[in-house]
Amino acid sequence: MVKDVGQPRSAEFPARPPGLPADERHETANALHSATVRLLRLTRTADAGMDLDGPRASLLSVLVFGGPRSVGELAAIEQVSPPAITKLVTALEAEGLVSRQRSDADRRLVLVGATAAGRDVLERGRGARVRLVAQLLDGASGPELALLRRAAEIIAERL
Q: Tell me how far apart the alpha carbons of residues 71 and 111 are, in angstroms, rounded to a whole number.
A: 7
CA distances from 93 to 71, 74, 85, 87, 104 (A): 13, 15, 12, 10, 20
CA 60 to the chain's CA centroid? 10
Q: What are the chain's domains?
A: 51-121 (1.10.10.10)
Note whether 154 and 86 are within 8 A (CB): no
Residues 20-79: tens digit of each pLDDT: 999 999 999 999 999 999 998 888 888 777 788 888 999 999 999 999 999 999 999 999
Nearest to 78 by CA among 103, 53, 97: 53
Please state the rounded mean pLDDT for residues 134-149: 96
Note whether 23 and 105 are within 8 A (CB): no
